[in-house]
Structure 1
């Protein structure tokens, strides 16, 4: 169709590209950390329920630097608190400026603002003395040295985090004279979005430049550069447009999508153009060259596209929303690139005039001579090559169990990033920027349960990784002190109920609502913890959960754990599980497609030899060098399968030479010689494209780029060595003659 009706094909692509392009308007970015979390995760459902019950949402903690204990500073803190509370999307603000003081007044409970309307030095001294003796205020709302004041901001999870972070920062900067340090979800989300907006166009342009240079060196013509780039442009519009139509939200991981489609998809057109220019240089007409190029490379390109699509589509089985959407869109983009290279490029080639200068890509040169020498060497070294490959595989398998998953969001950012520096400051000054939340069900008027909650808090606050803990038990102890002059809890259920009623009559009932529901049957206990690597955080959460079960459990009907920290740890476990599932599925799909299209299960199994060696090498090196498995490196195996199309072209050429009557040894040598040059330039193009990701602002994506450098090189090396050796041993002409005939 492309050769007979080129204008129809071009028109069809224009219509489809316009249709998919219209979907780009609906494409949204989701830069929140919770976008990594499956919506049906039990801990996520529990956190959503807790937010509905106790209020609040995503948290941002502002550390205001400066001498706090002065009248001027406290007035500025009051203005800052009011300014932040006025920001649209802010649900609750907590600071010294809106904290309460409880005192007994002639048998009545007096609840009043901690800060009076006017302040002098005497007032400040009294406020300081009260705060330093208050467990919910000291070290939580003001640092121990009085150099930092905290403003805890809870925001609507559905709000625009970038806008919120900007407006909160502006409100604080306008009202506080000293430095302002913002940590938490809005700050991280704003940084992610800014980094993505900067990274995506820069990485895409750099990848286009590198890939274009490689294609120019290979073909020495403008169309040899522009046509591959046209195919991937079509693929990107289709993939991203589909995401818009489906309502997908792209996150941090999606920032590598354009480079993946560009690098993998451009290789299809390379093989088509390689054969087209070869036939043209051999004297064939333009139409005959296009026909031969599509016919002779069509099978290899089809199998390559199916392999790449299968590898990427296997990521759709992931439980992580960002990885799932990435896998679907990347697979669709690769298949769109295949259609463009198989239909659109031939249609354009038929219409264009022959270039003035025709250079045969299979011309003898240094690369071709090296490939001929490699092919000859393999004939005598086939068994040694396979033994070496098995030894390499065994060595890498030893290190794979050492891989650790990492979902600490802080590790995604360079040390110079403002949100990371602010988080480290908050950890140091206030004892933590993350949290573990316990949801306790039971009779919260029972002194035994309240006492157990308080003992639990004392136990976990002794851990060096924990900053503070807060619960309804602390509030009632403060109530009891205000009424009796001594810290403690009432010794009866009626006493607890009476003190709670006194507070509700004298103060704002909403002050209790963040700790306990209205029926006094469910409580929220918040444990403030430092940002830690995933392994250390898992150990801490395990200890906290064990303490809760041992201390609170006997007095409560249920104790469950959630919070941002727990969500990230649950995500870590899912990443590890999903990695094995998606990788195994991808290898099975590739072997199946190759076996089906090449009409032989033996050929199908042999075709994945380079993939198995490469993927084993990837994960073995990760275990050896302590590279963690995170949301970016979790993609490495599937993408390795996507770039492993070198094998198909070697196999197709090998079978083609067997059909011509050549021996297995001659076919292997010729396949390496003829296809080796295309494999070399494909590896350069794909590897060069991925190297653009080295300039990402996200540490995991930088690591991903380095691993892809190994992946592309290793896949090409194994395709040119281990694969021909395996073909010579397992797919010899005298052993599998039917393969030659059917293929």
Structure 2
């Protein structure tokens, strides 16, 4: 290995311009791919396209003709009548008209006071459908009439207008959720023309996700350069030489550009996770450079052959840098074991970037240093002035830490054990939770809108509980049996069977019934008539039985489930086919509350739904039930979109179904964005745990191979174990939700904590072999090696500080916790690891 390293360094120092040209060419080739970037913030893509939950969700959207929707809210808290004033309703009407003309809006399904029907009784057994607000009311009395109509319609009350009458909503379904930011901006432009007492808000998961994508793109362009600037300034503070620190900055820039260019050029979209790749790699890429520069500046003396010093330094550091790069990349490559595609992409490309940075460091830093003139190197030494480098603030602080670590060993170990125990308890308190709306700061307009509208309405988060009839339908062959078939009908049976089987599955029984009715008008004999009449009767019975959600019993089950969910307090409101039937039934009878109930027969249900389809919006029925009446859903409105809230609802439904079994042949499934978020969170947690355990085992094996010692292998894992435990214990103790950014931090902790330990232990072993003295070994450890580790920890920690000023919570979370990880892992390496090494010296330092 040493000979190979010498050859590489010699080649690079002899042909530095070739090294520059190769790296520049590679960087430019990758850089031209970056303009092809495509942003993706759809949480659905956290699940594989073939995941059962995602497949069912999309099938449900298709079956019930549903679209993702933006929620626009108007709040008037200034007048006694709230939103029911002529001025407020006129603006609502005007805005709705504008929304209907926006490209990409499903205008037929827009829900607003001006686009829905008022359903009333025209007379006994007849209904009247009129637009709720065809024109804006001109007087307070007319506005109050609108209020009276809305409050009589349970389907609209607390959905379109809040119970306190202070807020009204417009639900804006859109064809493509990736267009939600544009559509929301057009709506905001229209709202900006209004003045008055109303406050307007826009929310909903589609617009939150798409707006996050827009702001994420902006943040990428700000945070990465700021991180580079912070690292540049810190390196200058350490080395006081612009000429020297340009080398690691070149390594960092090349690494980021090549990695992002490769990702984008390979056709991957930039998700919330992969958007952080540049921020992760910028500080990580300079770690090896800092080690080389620290040792080079410490060893080089004026008049010496710089190339020989470089060769000596790189040869000394090559093995620990190689292993630290491999272990760091393993931590990220382990994320590819998770079932979350964006996390897999993130882990794979960060892992690649770390290895690429190592290669660039090994070839570029020697080439760069070899190109420095003697005068530049002399200036470097003058600026570094060795006396200060050994007695500066950082060096004195490191020696103070060394004194603490070697003189208070017992106290440190006991304290570490206590911290470990508390951390384990804290880990047990961790709550798994996420919500795309909470990716914004509390002051962000999306968060504000979410808070305000959910305070007024039943909820702006949607989940769908889908009930399906799984019973097999009778086949054409069963309904037209060949056993009693008259010979004269054989040809007709064959042709009719072919025609019926060409129809969609849900229409075959109806098609067969029509074919039988048509044939019965022919001139038939007694045998033919008897056969066909029996077949028609059986077909009509099968057709009636197949329409499961015309059954009052099945609708009663849905109604009871809705009541249980409402009583639980977990659901703001629910709407279902049962609510439609009860409303129409009330108006068909007395119009009074006592008739707000389900009809007693399937014929009564069918009559109610037939009447409902006479409205201006007949398609609304198919949002509640499929045309074959074999699937129906309950639309749940939730005030909170957190996974914990969705979990509580799912558990409540499971408990209800356990004590109240589903009707025979029925199956229950979930759909909706709130539920999908819950599914990918569960998958992520399980996947992250598996990847962490796998990576931990692999790194442990690598440590034993590197040091050829079980004891040193265990010592190398100590900083990693304590750091991960402390960080995640702290997360549990402070009540921070375990979300997507938090989950992936373990991979960085694993790699970089071992990085520090490898360098520390490798230098400890080398020093002990030279001196044979434990005391001398520790004195040398807390000179240049510990200073280099401290520099690296500070470079990485401060490299993430620009994220603290981001408007997006995931970026802030990453910045805070990565800085914490670096500081904690460095302290554990410099304090706890030496204390344990001293106590285990009989086993660790053997001949």
Instruction: Determine if the TM-score, normalized by the shorter chain, exceeds 0.5.
Output: yes
- More displaced 10-residue stretch of structure 1: 487-496 or 72-81: 72-81
Unaligned runs of 5+ in 2: 1-10, 77-81, 470-547
User: What's the CA shift for 1:132?
Assistant: 1.1
Alpha-carbon separation, structure 1, partners of 2:362 and 2:680: 40
Matched, 1:83 2:98: yes
Change (3 A) 1:182 1:702: same
Question: Following TM superposition, by how much is the alpha carbon of 1:176 offset from its aligned partner in structure 2, in angstroms?
Answer: 8.3
Q: 1:162 aligns with which of 181, 187, 205?
A: 181
- Corresponding residue of 2:131: 113
Give the deviation of 1:520 after TM superposition.
0.8
How far apart, in 2, do the equivalents of 1:539 and 1:119 lie? Answer: 42
Q: Is the 8 A contact 2:700 2:713 kept in 1?
A: yes
Other-structure match for 1:292: 312
Name the counterpart of 2:257: 237
Separation in 2 of the partners of 1:397 and 1:505?
63
The aligned residue for residue 302 of structure 1 is: 322
1:624 to 733, 742, 752: 733
Provide the rounded CA distance (Å) in 1 between the counterparts of 2:291 and 2:652.
57
CA RMSD, Structure 1 to Structure 2 (Å): 2.8
Question: In structure 2, how many angstroms separate the alpha carbons of the residues matched to 1:556 and 1:444?
Answer: 12
Deviation at residue 578 of structure 1 after TM alignment: 2.8
Quick one: distance in 1 between partners of 2:188 and 2:406?
68
Q: 2:41 aligns with which of 31, 38, 58?
A: 31
Distance 2:214 2:341 in 1: 21
Deviations 1:16-69 (A, max 9, x none): 212222321232222334444454443332221111111222222111234543
User: 1:13-28 alignment to 2 at 5 Å?
Assistant: 13-28=23-38
Which residue of structure 1 aligns with residue 584 of structure 2? 479
Query: Contact 2:711/2:844 (CA < 8 Å) preserved in 1?
Result: no
Could you tell me whether the CA contact under 8 Å between 1:438 and 1:526 is conserved in 2?
yes
Aligned to 1:565: 674
Q: Is residue 426 from structure 1 mapped to residue 453 from structure 2 by the alignment?
A: yes
Per the TM alignment, residue 334 of structure 1 is displaced from its structure 2 partner at its CA by 1.8
Residue 593 of structure 1 is aligned with which of 674, 677, 702? Answer: 702
**Mapping of 1:512-527 within 5 angstroms?**
512-527=621-636
Q: Which of the residues 458, 463, 468 maps onto 1:436?
A: 463
In structure 1, the residue matched to 2:511 is none
User: Are 1:452 and 2:557 counterparts?
Assistant: yes
Q: How many Å separate the matches in 2 of 1:412 and 1:553?
A: 38
The yes-or-no answer on 1:402 pairing with 2:429 is: yes
Aligned mates of 1:134, 1:506 — CA distance in 2: 14
SS of the residue 2:69 aligns to: strand
Cα deviation for residue 401 of structure 1 reads: 0.8
Say which is worse superposed, 724-733 or 470-479, in terms of deviation. Answer: 724-733
Equivalent position of 1:47 in the other structure: 57
Corresponding residue for residue 322 of structure 1: 342
Partner of 2:797: 687
Aligned-residue offset at 1:595: 3.0
Structure 1 243/158 Cα, relative in aligned 2: closer, same or farther at 3 Å?
Answer: farther
Q: Give, in whole Å, the separation in 2 of the partners of 1:541 and 1:521.
A: 22
Select the residue among 297, 300, 323 that pairs with 1:280. 300
SS of 2:669's partner is strand
Structure 2 contact 768–777 (Cα < 8 Å) conserved: yes
| Residue 493 to residue 377, structure 1, CA distance change in 2 (3 Å) | closer
2:406 and 2:164 map into 1 onto residues whose CA distance is 75
Q: For the structure 1 residues 352 and 544, does the alpha-carbon distance in structure 2 shift closer, same or farther, using more than 3 Å as the test?
A: same
| Contact 1:219–1:361 (Cα < 8 Å) also in 2 | no
Looking at structure 1, the residues matched to 412 and 195 of structure 2 have their Cα atoms a distance apart, in angstroms, of: 69
d(CA) in 1 for partners of 2:698 and 2:22? Answer: 30
Alignment partner of 1:217 out of 237, 240, 243: 237
Kindly indicate whether the alpha-carbon contact (under 8 Å) linking 2:434 and 2:737 is maintained by their aligned counterparts in 1: no
SS of 2:14's equivalent in the other structure is coil
Structure 1: how far apart are the matches of 2:75 and 2:405? Answer: 68
1:107-141 per-residue CA deviation (whole Å, 9 max, x = no partner) reads 55443433346855465454432221110111211
Any idea what SS the aligned residue of 2:628 has?
coil
Compute the displacement of 1:648 (Å): 1.6
Q: Could you tell me how far apart the structure 2 residues matched to 1:53 and 1:361 are?
A: 75
Q: Is the 8 A contact 1:281 1:358 kept in 2?
A: no
Q: CA deviation at 1:514?
A: 0.9
**Alignment match of 2:333 (pick from 287, 302, 313):** 313
**Cα deviation, residue 14, structure 1:** 1.8
The farther-off stretch of 74-83 and 675-684 is 74-83
TM-score by length of 2: 0.81
TM-score, with length taken from structure 1: 0.92
Is the 8 Å Cα contact of residues 80 and 176 (structure 1) preserved in structure 2?
no
Offset, 1:598:
3.8
Distance 1:373 1:469, change over 3 A: closer
State the number of aligned residues: 737
CA–CA separation in structure 2 for the residues paired with 1:722 and 1:643: 16
The answer to whether the Cα contact below 8 Å between 2:433 and 2:738 also exists between their aligned partners in 1 is yes
Equivalent residue number for residue 357 of structure 1: 379
- Aligned counterpart in structure 1 of residue 752 of structure 2, from 643, 656, 661: 643
2:584 is aligned with 1:469: no
CA–CA separation in structure 1 for the residues paired with 2:809 and 2:429 = 21
Match of 2:84 among 69, 76, 84: 69
Name the stretch that deviates more: 505-514 or 668-677: 505-514
**Counterpart for residue 489 of structure 1:** 598
1:312–1:330 CA contact under 8 A, matched in 2: yes
- 1:264 corresponds to 2:291: no
Segment of structure 1 superposing worse, 33-42 or 245-254? 33-42
1:734–1:112 CA distance, 2 compared to 1 (3 A)? closer
Q: Which has the larger radius of gyration?
A: 2
SS in 2 for 1:444: helix
Equivalent pair of 1:32/1:185 in contact (CA under 8 Å): no
SS at match of 1:94: coil
Distance (Å, rounded) in 2 between the aligned partners of 1:282 and 1:120: 91
The offset of 1:4, in angstroms, is: 3.3
Change (3 A) 1:161 1:332: farther
- Is structure 2 residue 527 aligned with structure 1 residue 500? no
In structure 2, the CA distance between the partners of 1:713 and 1:507, relative to structure 1 (3 Å rule), is: closer
631-640 or 82-91: bigger deviation: 82-91
Partner of 1:740: none
Structure 1: unaligned runs, 5 residues or longer:
738-743
- CA shift digits 1:616-646 (9 cap, x unpaired): 1111222222222111111222111232212
CA offset digits 1:564-590 (Å, max 9, x no partner): 222222233234323322222222232
Compared CA separation, residues 734 and 523, structure 1 to 2 (3 A): closer
Tell which deviates more after alignment, 115-124 or 12-21. 115-124
C-alpha distance in structure 1 between counterparts of 2:588 and 2:426, whole Å: 63
Given candidates 230, 237, 246, the residue that maps to 1:226 is 246
Distance 2:408 2:151 in 1: 78
How far is the alpha carbon of 1:449 from its aligned partner?
0.9
